[in-house]
Structure 1
Amino acid sequence: CDGRLLVAMIFFILLIRVKPDNSGVVTDGVKHSMNPFCEIAVEEAVKLKEKKLIKEVVAVSCGPQQSQETIRTALAMGADRGIHVEVAGKDYETLGPLQVSKIMAALAKKEDAQLIILGKQAIDDDCNQTGQMTAALLDWPQGTFASEVSLDGDKVKVVREIDGGLETIKISTPAVLTADLRLNTPRYATLPNIMKAKKKKIANVKPADLGVDLTSRLEVLKVEEPPQRQAGVKVETVEDLVGKLKETGRI
């Protein structure tokens, strides 16, 4: 695969608080970090370049201005340049896998990418849909849940993690891959590389520039915090435990 590779990154939010109007979660003033599965995707892309199997790694993230922090992390890890697709306001609040997939598909065509690597899923909503939807929109083969990737010309060998164990497939590029946990261990960005990343280019584009409509087909009716856990009960003996379970209808 002697070409350009796109790495899509989704950031996750710590310290979740529900908005007073129950319309979503509070993101104002919250530091954004790269999704762990996306870190693995970036690492794999950089490793492929280090092996001289690809020419360029382009890091992509969609979202508000804070998304550039995530892109800078990818650049410090070894990506060559970044693309920030600016999505803010109401569009950001309703941004989902389908909208991100449309953006990635449009960028893949614009950049003439031969390989797209994404994290297999976000760790906030666990949707596990973006990679599959991107492949469908592009009509490209896909290798999801990858725990091992090897390139040989225009062929990609992927070892996939499935419920029954491991599955090995071979697909042709251009293709879409999604990274699983055991694919690699992401490197820490060194201080010199962090400084170099500040000089690397991040292009700013808007969805409209790509001809992408961000209209959501989903409507969030209400977001609520999970109910508080009730206090447990201590029992002295097995007989007491069995009695409590019977009282509560557990057995």
Structure 2
Amino acid sequence: MTAERLQLQRAVVLSQEEVCRDTFLMWLSCPALVRGAAPGRFLMLRCSDGLDPLLPRPMSYHRFRDRDGERQFAILYDVRGRGTLWLSRRRPGDEVLAFGPLGRGLQVRPDARNLLLVAGGLGIAGLVALADEAVAQGRSVTLLAGARTAVRLLPPSFLPPEVEVVYATDDGSRGHHGPVTALLPEYLDWADQVFACGPAAMFAAMAETLRARASRRPVQVLMEERMGCGTGICYGCAVFPRRGGVRLVCKDGPRFDLRDLF
């Protein structure tokens, strides 16, 4: 981890909009924060003008674009407390403080042609950049997107048009009525690689499905954990592999092999 990645950088807000209920898409400009950024990596972003809240929030690199002679990036986040409420009130031209990029990003095998992405809730934030990149490389991408209800799903207009999107909602208001993991068996044989981001319960259900089918399909997951520092100092994001030991989501992840943890 270089010293530059640990330095607070000023990022300029380019745009912000509420894309579904309590979920905001913010585009930002900061050359230092985008240097080395890739799908699956994240940054730590301050969500206040002062010291309350004190700790920064981890944010996935949601998308990238080349515009106005620079590479820009977006974050996708839910308003869940006073920090993200503050963030949702930023306007174009405002500045926010952040450091990164951090963590291990997703890795696609050169021979993988069909990619299956599984997103639970806001887990979609960490997967869309991978979909963009895969489509640009000529790969086929299917996204299984789940949420509690339809108003919490990211609209198709905010996804790459080349991606096949299949929805699932817990209340049946859109797509499959039930958990998004129930869709997994239908697509496993098609996929060369599987990538997922969402809650731990979703990963556990995916692992059970793979074991039931005796599938050895490679699955990379992005772990979502609370973080105090993002640098491996506080151990607030510790997870415990099945074979023992301790891993830190901020340093050893957020990318893990599904079978190592579940």
Q: Same fold (TM over 0.5)?
A: no
**Which structure has the larger Rg?**
1
Q: Which has the larger share of strand?
A: 2
Please, what TM-score do these two structures have when normalized by structure 2?
0.34
The structure whose RCO (Cα within 8 Å, separation 6+) is larger is 1
Please, what TM-score do these two structures have when normalized by structure 1?
0.36
Q: Which has the larger share of helix?
A: 1
